[in-house]
Structure 1
Amino acid sequence: MVPTLIGRIQTRLFLLAVVGGLVTAVLTPFLPMSVPVGERYGITFIVLATVAVVGIGWEFLYHLLMQWRWEKDWPTYAALVTLVPEGLLIWGLLRAGMVPTIDGPAGPWAFWIHFVVVWLAVWFVAQGPMRVPFIRWRFHGGRLL
């Protein structure tokens, strides 16, 4: 399957909402943060939403870069490695105070644990289990709708 741009965006938003939301809900109480649990949930879900919104911009950049590849798609390992630039950008936005409703970074350990665990969960689901309930997903360029 060669995902289309709209298919990649739909898949990213769906997986971040469903898989990312579930992982965030379970992981948040255990993150090393010195704020009450209610505030932790607020912070982690805002970070998750920021990853989703900024991720749409990343998809346009990735789509542009893929035009120079013969297959017009990334190898699986390259899709996994994209967590580094995306994570660094989100962390930079947090440090610069550019994420709405978050006054400052919640701490590097909490952010990176949350980001990497959610990223890996989303990546693993996209590589395998996603193909079971959405049989036609592969044949429609990654589009869900």
Structure 2
Amino acid sequence: MVPTLYGRIQTRVFLLALIGSIVTLAITPFLPVDGPLGDRYQATFVVLASVAVLGIGWELIYHLLMQLRWEKDWPTLFGLLTLVPEGVLVGALAVAGTLPYLPGSVPAWAFALHFTTVWVAVWVFANGPMRAPFIRWRFRGGRLV
């Protein structure tokens, strides 16, 4: 079954909250960012929340683009490559320091490392291990609830 728009949004938010938070907790102390650890965690979690919130808008855009395809779905590789437009948008906002609750700006290298690590971890989990605990997920259009 092709994931529905609502199912993709649910899956995105769930995976960013679960897998994204775990990865962010693990890598934040090692990111090349100056400042106290508390500010670094605040910056990385603001970026993670921004990806989740802005990602809902991206899902709407992707849904419209998918309607132009015959099978109305993305190939799996497209799901991975969507990190480029989303990363560019959130990265530009983070480096400029314009995200709400962001304690200053984020160095581009630190953002790229954090964003790419989280994105790949979420993508790998969605395309592999997630299918074990959520057996019916695929048959319900990607909905978790």
TM-score by length of 2: 0.97
CA offset at residue 103 of structure 1? Answer: 4.8
Partner of 1:52: 52
Q: Distance in 2 between matches of 1:55 and 1:38?
A: 25
Percent sequence identity over matched residues?
64
Q: Distance in 1 between matches of 2:49 and 2:113?
A: 16
| Structure 1 residues 42-90: Cα deviation after superposition (integer angstroms, max 9, x where no partner) | 1100100000000000000000000011111100111111101100000
Alignment of 1:94-113 (within 5 A): 94-113=94-113
Q: Distance in 1 between matches of 2:127 and 2:36?
A: 35
Gaps of 5+ in 1: none
Q: Distance in 2 between matches of 1:44 and 1:113?
A: 11
CA offset at residue 94 of structure 1? Answer: 2.0
| Higher deviation after alignment, 103-112 or 82-91 | 103-112
Contact 2:95/2:106 (8 A) holds in 1: no
CA offset at residue 98 of structure 1? Answer: 2.7
Partner of 1:129: 129
Question: Is 2:136 the partner of 1:144?
Answer: no
Q: Distance in 1 between matches of 2:79 and 2:7?
A: 15
Q: Distance in 2 between matches of 1:87 and 1:68?
A: 24
TM-score by length of 1: 0.97
Partner of 1:14: 14
Amino acid at match of 2:9: I
Q: Distance in 2 between matches of 1:75 and 1:69?
A: 11
RMSD of the alignment, in Å? 1.0
Contact 2:42/2:103 (8 A) holds in 1: no
Partner of 2:67: 67
Gaps of 5+ in 2: none
CA offset at residue 95 of structure 1? Answer: 3.5
Question: Is 2:73 the partner of 1:88?
Answer: no
Q: Distance in 1 between matches of 2:98 and 2:36?
A: 23
Q: Distance in 1 between matches of 2:139 and 2:100?
A: 38
